[in-house]
Amino acid sequence: MKVLALIFEGFEEEEAMAPFAILRRAGIDLTIASLGKTVVGSHGIALTNVNKLVKIPYKQYDALLIPGGAHYKYLKVSGLVHEIIRHFFDADKYVFGICAAPTIFGMLGYLKGKKYTCFKAMDEDFGGTFERIGVVTDGKLVTATSVAYSLDFAYEIVRVLLGEDALKELHKHIYYEK
């Protein structure tokens, strides 16, 4: 399973790093991409050795992951980002977004008829059913409300991609007990 993650200047660090670390711990092939080799998050933390998005053959990936944060302003206007999002939805691939990211999906018309969540203050009438809970799964779409749900979001991605047994094994490996 190959996951492509998009981050840009101003991404929310925990919404990115928690899923990145959990997916890699679960053995999922994760590629992190942006415009340059270094990207600075909303709290001044830099992520280095990032892949250049323009060089990524994104159609070869099974899933798309977009964290939230102030970088949504770029996501909202980037033709390339819209092209990538459209590809994943139109090809019926997995799409994961947290906080502000699902609003881009809605803006592009992909939340119509779907259950979803996002940062509550940013919810508009996207034609779907907004749920006031931390993480929502609707088929191959997983959305989460905010930074407070970063780990829950990551665990749900693992469950959706690899199954319940893989998630239980991951939880056992990291000593997570409910």
pLDDT of residue 71: 85
Name the band, by pLDDT with cuts 50, 70 and 90, for residue 105. very high
Q: What would the mean pLDDT of 64-85 be, rounded to a whole number?
A: 92
pLDDT of residue 18: 97
Better-scored residue on pLDDT, 65 or 72: 65
- Looking at domain 2-173, its CATH superfamily turns out to be Class I glutamine amidotransferase (GATase) domain (3.40.50.880)
Q: Where are the beta strands (DSSP E) in the chain?
A: 2-6, 29-34, 39-40, 46-47, 51-52, 63-66, 94-98, 115-116, 129-130, 135-138, 141-144
Name the band, by pLDDT with cuts 50, 70 and 90, for residue 59. very high
Q: What would the mean pLDDT of 115-123 be, rounded to a whole number?
A: 92
User: Does residue 178 have a pLDDT over 80?
Assistant: no
